[in-house]
Amino acid sequence: MLPAAANSSELVSANVPEPSDPIAEQLTQLQAADHLIALTRASGTESRADPHVQALALGVAANLPVLLWGQPGIGKSSTLVQLARGLGLPLETVIASVHDPSDFAGLPIIGADPAGEGVAMAPPDWAVRLHRAGSGLLFLDEISSAPPAVQAALLRVVLERHVGSLELPASVRIVAAANPAGSAADGWQLAPPLANRFVHLAWLHDPDVVVRGLGGVWPEVALPQLDPAKLERSVARARSAVCAFLTVRPDYTHRMPATAAARAGAWPSPRTWEMAMRLLAFGYAADADPEAVAIAIRGAVGDGAGLEFLAFLERQDLPDPESVLADPIGAELPERGDLVHATLAAVVDAIGRDATRERWEAGWTLIARLAAAVPVDLLAAPAMQLAALREPAWELPAQLDGLGALEALLVWGE
């Protein structure tokens, strides 16, 4: 006897699967997508001898405000994230361009007795978090897009570490990033008082580094390893070097550039020479790469003063400008390009302090002599400065006829 037939609805439910939940499927896909994104971001680090990275590490170790200049999208922000992670420091990123001056100067908070206790300037939350942590890395991004009023409010933050009425711990490191004015969003030139508070480093992309990084390995930003036995000796050596150089070249003690663009970068002042002295002391104490130390020092006092100072360090002295002017043909001159540039700059500066026709012509004799031995680009800037010292009554120097390409760069007034 055959069994009784099953109900038709029971047969359908037994053979057809339950309809899936579309929302659950979408959530599963999103979770898979998030996992895939995490895999693309996963990377490691490796030691790499990059002097620019080492210069950044030197500035951070010396607890000097560092400003990274570079085009958008070349890894300034990601470098700071990696640096903070490697140092185990909390990172606070502040986009300077989207804040008001009061976000750095503080908002007035009236207490119970303002006449007796005054009015406190309340700090923002990121400053409070750094204060509570006791250390950290403050990253001021897009600083060149901040309007002048915000830049003015940043002065105390960068140098004195005051945010409103709150003082940041001394161990908090400050690094900023900026795009050149031509590529910044609504960019401004940095005000000279703010620019003079930073060590300026050019941040460039290295195709090899990018390829390695996209493959999963980025350069490690490692702090210089200080030798405790060298600390006092390194400071004394650095102090002696800076003081000796400024004794020989007092004109470099404070030299603000003439153009707004140059004033927005590194230039020599007593403040930046103190920064250079600290960088040099750290370089001595850590036996740091000389190229990295040179990049950092030039980032503090500028290329002109920095190159001359570094040349002075290498030879401990430069030819006496007055001796060179007394015998521009027979005077002993250095052979290296940077030393030649430093010597010629010192000679032109000496002529400028006592400009006579004889001294001016001796300067051209020296340039004509150097033009036969070094590339013309090393002579262009000093030659233009020397040309600007010409008095209207002075005839054009005969040496100019043999300078070739250099002659075309000079514009002479009649």
Tokens at 294, concatenated: 């040179």
Q: Which tops the pLDDT comparison, 109 or 177? A: 177
Q: Span 346-359, mean pLDDT?
A: 88
- Residue 314: its H or E element: helix 303-315
Please report, for residues 50, 80, 136, the alpha-carbon distance to residue 127 in angstroms, rounded to integers and kept in the order given: 32, 18, 10
What CATH number is attached to the domain comprising 185? 3.40.50.300
DSSP reduced 3-state for 176 = strand
Q: Where is the domain boundary, 197, 223, 251?
A: 197
Q: Where is the domain boundary, 166, 181, 197?
A: 197
| Average pLDDT of every residue of the chain | 83
In a domain, 35, yes or no: no
Which pLDDT score is estimated for 144?
Answer: 85
| Ranges 13-27, 187-201, 274-288, most confident | 274-288
In a domain, 263, yes or no: no
Domain extent for 90: 66-108+120-197
Chain length of the chain: 414
pTM: 0.70
In a domain, 405, yes or no: yes
DSSP string, 39-51: HHH--EEE----H
Going by C-alpha positions, the residue among 288, 351, 301, 279 that lies closest to residue 196 is 301
Which pLDDT score is estimated for 240?
Answer: 81
For 238, what's the count of Cα atoms within 13 Å in the CB-facing half-sphere? 22
Q: Where residue 14 falls among pLDDT bands split at 50, 70, 90?
A: low
Q: Span 286-307, mean pLDDT?
A: 94
Q: Span 131-136, mean pLDDT?
A: 93
Domains held by the chain: number: 2
Q: Where is the domain boundary, 135, 167, 197?
A: 197
* pLDDT of 139 higher than 80: yes
Contacts 24+ apart (CB under 8 A), 224-233: 224/54, 224/57, 224/58, 224/61, 224/282, 224/283, 224/285, 224/286, 224/288, 225/286, 226/61, 226/282, 226/285, 226/286, 227/285, 227/286, 227/287, 230/284, 230/285, 231/285, 233/284
Give 65-90 pLDDT, tens digit per residue. 999 998 877 777 778 888 888 888 89
Give 22-72 pLDDT, tens digit per residue. 888 888 899 999 999 888 887 777 777 788 889 999 999 999 999 999 887
Strand runs labelled E in 107-215: 107-109, 120-122, 136-141, 162-163, 166-167, 172-178, 199-202
In a domain, 351, yes or no: yes
Q: Which tops the pLDDT comparison, 1 or 310? A: 310
* pLDDT of 400 higher than 90: no
In a domain, 215, yes or no: no
Q: Is residue 152 a contact partner of residue 195, using CB atoms and an 8 Å limit?
A: no
Residue 354 has what DSSP assignment? S
In a domain, 100, yes or no: yes
Which pLDDT score is estimated for 35?
Answer: 93
In a domain, 273, yes or no: no
Question: Residues with Cβ < 8 Å from 177, sequence gap 6 or more?
Answer: 67, 68, 69, 70, 76, 77, 80, 139, 140, 141, 142, 143, 203
Q: Which tops the pLDDT comparison, 74 or 185? A: 74
In a domain, 160, yes or no: yes
Instruction: Indicate the range of 125-129, 152-156, 312-316, 393-397 predicted with least confidence.
Output: 312-316
Q: Where residue 285 falls among pLDDT bands split at 50, 70, 90?
A: very high
Tell me what percent of the residues of the chain surpass a pLDDT of 90.
32
Distance CA 393, CA 360 (A): 13
